[in-house]
């Protein structure tokens, strides 16, 4: 396995695990409170839609010329990576609330109890909330699977890494029978942000026609460089005099 493939697998695994933890909280809340049957049906429908998106767009992306693909994918990964990094840095600096899975679970459960139920049959609420949870949390993962996989011409590896992440999170959820509140979500999001930004920089530069000194080995400098610069920004924000907390932990 090459260094870029290892980077692909780690990035997809971490991104998918973070989003799966968030989706698990939503599905558990409606499943425990209302109906496991319709919550799991919603999960299945959400996964099916994500699979269709990956299956439809994957071959189209891999058909693009490699330089066009890398400049597009590099740019998109960079935009996404900088968004993930910004949120993670703000949370580390104490300027943005960290996501609390126990709190999210309680909030989702309260909403599920309050929602009316038509009868003993199809529970539209459980189905819709679980479907939307899986689809919305999964879209970013599908995007990462597609872009990383297409750039490496190895969508199969990206899908496998995503599947292992989901299986791990689901297994952990079944074992603890509670939301996974102890998962270091912000650290994982920070790592994903670093990886997306680093690969975005690397592929964007190559796609735009420039060459890296040392070729693929440049990633061994870019990834720690992005991580260190981002940590330096955390320190800078912690010391900034005019700090104010930002809302929206999503």
168 or 249: CB nearest other proteins: 249
Burial state string for 204-241 with b = 16 or more CB within 10 A and e = fewer than 16:
bbbbeeeeeeeeeebbeebbeebbeebeebbeeeeeee
Residues 65, 119, 121, 209: which binds other proteins (CB under 8 A)?
Answer: 209
Look up residue 152 and give its two tokens.
């490496």
38 or 92: CB nearest other proteins: 92
Q: Is 240 in the site for other proteins (CB under 8 A)?
A: yes
105 or 202: CB nearest other proteins: 202
CA distances from 97 to 115, 236, 240, 247, 250 (A): 27, 18, 18, 6, 9
1-9, 43-51, 71-79, 114-122 -> range binding other proteins (CB under 8 A): 71-79
Q: Is 75 in the site for other proteins (CB under 8 A)?
A: yes
Q: Is 14 in the site for other proteins (CB under 8 A)?
A: no
CB 137 within 8 A of CB 23: yes
Q: Is 208 in the site for other proteins (CB under 8 A)?
A: yes
Give me the residues that bind other proteins (CB under 8 A), please.
Answer: 71, 74-76, 78-80, 82-83, 85-86, 89-90, 95, 139, 143, 197, 200-201, 204-205, 207-213, 218, 222, 225-226, 229-230, 233, 237, 240, 242-244, 246
């Amino acid at each position: 396995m090459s260094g870029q493939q290892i980077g692909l697998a780690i990035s997809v695994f971490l991104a998918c695990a973070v989003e799966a933890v968030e989706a698990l909280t939503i599905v558990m809340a409606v499943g425990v409170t209302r109906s496991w049957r319709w919550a799991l049906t919603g999960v299945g429908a959400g996964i099916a839609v994500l699979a269709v998106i990956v299956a439809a767009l994957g071959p189209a992306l891999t058909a693009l010329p490699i330089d066009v693909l890398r400049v597009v994918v590099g740019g998109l990964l960079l935009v996404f990576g900088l968004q993930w990094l910004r949120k993670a840095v703000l949370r580390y600096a104490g300027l943005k609330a960290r996501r609390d899975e126990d709190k999210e679970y309680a909030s989702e459960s309260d909403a599920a109890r309050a929602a009316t139920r038509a009868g003993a049959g199809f529970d539209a609420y459980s189905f819709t909330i679980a479907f939307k949870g899986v689809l919305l949390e999964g879209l970013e993962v599908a995007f990462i699977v597609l872009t990383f996989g297409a750039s490496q011409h190895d969508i199969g590896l990206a899908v496998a890494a995503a599947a292992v992440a989901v299986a791990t999170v689901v297994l952990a959820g079944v074992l603890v029978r509670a939301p996974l509140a102890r998962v270091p979500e912000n650290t994982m999001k920070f790592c994903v942000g670093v990886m997306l930004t680093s690969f975005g920089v690397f592929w964007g530069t190559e796609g735009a026609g420039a060459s890296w000194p040392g070729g693929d080995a440049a990633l061994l400098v870019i990834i720690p460089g992005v991580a260190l610069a981002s940590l330096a920004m955390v320190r800078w924000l912690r010391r900034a005099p005019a700090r104010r907390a930002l809302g929206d932990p999503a």
